[in-house]
Amino acid sequence: MHREGHDTQYIVSKIGCSVSTVLHWIDHYEKHGDVNNEPRIGRPYITDEKTDKMIIDEAKKTIFTTPRMIKRKLQLDVSARIIDRRLINYGRWYFTSDPPEQFFLQHDNDKKFTGEVVSTWLHQNGIPVFNIPAYSPDLNPIENLWANMARRVEGQPAATIKELQDVVAEEWEATKEEFVHELVASMPKRCQAVIDANGEYIDY
């Protein structure tokens, strides 16, 4: 189907597997000319199903948590990177479930986000990006969240990098979910305001 020109979503709808799986085998075919499995390499899977469920349940319960905070709260004997991988894998399943949820990743045009490495990773993992014009922080609600976070973090004492990391994590967890929803819900008004201003900067 890929060779016939069909896009990823079409293929997913026809064969009933995830976007990431489709992209993996398209990439594999383009590199090797076949769809044969290769011998598995790498580290063994070091968490069991029960631990994975605990990680996911904690992430659901504490919306603004982090892998580091989950590790500490659940007293897990695995690295924060492993926890991060489990959350990413769950996110891939959630957003490629049947029926698939339509979502877009929004970030600004900083080179760290638009570079080849990040763009390739997003493409290979089937994550669509919501593009915004250059120099448009007024169209990116996360900027309002960062400003709010910065004000709260600046009011907390921190003498070392580790203490600062803890303060940031604590303030992130303390962020009210209602505030985030308000920022997301402001997008239609922001877009309309930009249209009304003929593309000029708006006060958000």
Q: How many domains does the chain have?
A: 2
Token pair in block for residue 2: 């890929």
Report yes or no on 87 lying in a domain. Answer: no
Report yes or no on 186 lying in a domain. Answer: yes
> Would you call 105 helix, strand, or coil by DSSP?
strand
In the block, tokens 């973090």 appear at 153
For residue 12, the tally of other CB atoms under 10 A from its CB is 20
Report yes or no on 85 lying in a domain. Answer: no
Q: Which helix (H) or strand (E) holds 10?
A: helix 8-15
Higher-pLDDT residue of 152, 10: 152
- At residue 17, the pLDDT reads 57
Report yes or no on 59 lying in a domain. Answer: no
- At residue 203, the pLDDT reads 81
| Mean pLDDT (whole number) for 47-72 | 84
Rounded percentage of the chain residues whose pLDDT exceeds 70: 75
CA distance 69 to 151: 22
What residues have CB less than 8 Å from 62, skipping those under 6 apart? 69, 73, 173
pLDDT tier for residue 131 given thresholds of 50, 70 and 90: confident
Token pair in block for residue 65: 């948590």
Report yes or no on 77 lying in a domain. Answer: no
Report yes or no on 118 lying in a domain. Answer: no
What residues have CB less than 8 Å from 89, skipping those under 6 apart? none
- At residue 136, the pLDDT reads 80
Residue 124 contacts residue 8 (beta carbons within 8 Å): no
Residues shown for the chain: 204
pLDDT tier for residue 121 given thresholds of 50, 70 and 90: confident
Rounded percentage of the chain residues whose pLDDT exceeds 90: 6
- At residue 81, the pLDDT reads 85
Report yes or no on 25 lying in a domain. Answer: yes
Report yes or no on 17 lying in a domain. Answer: yes
CA distance 129 to 182: 21
Q: Is the pLDDT of residue 96 over 80?
A: no
DSSP state of 198: T
User: Range of 171's domain?
Assistant: 133-204
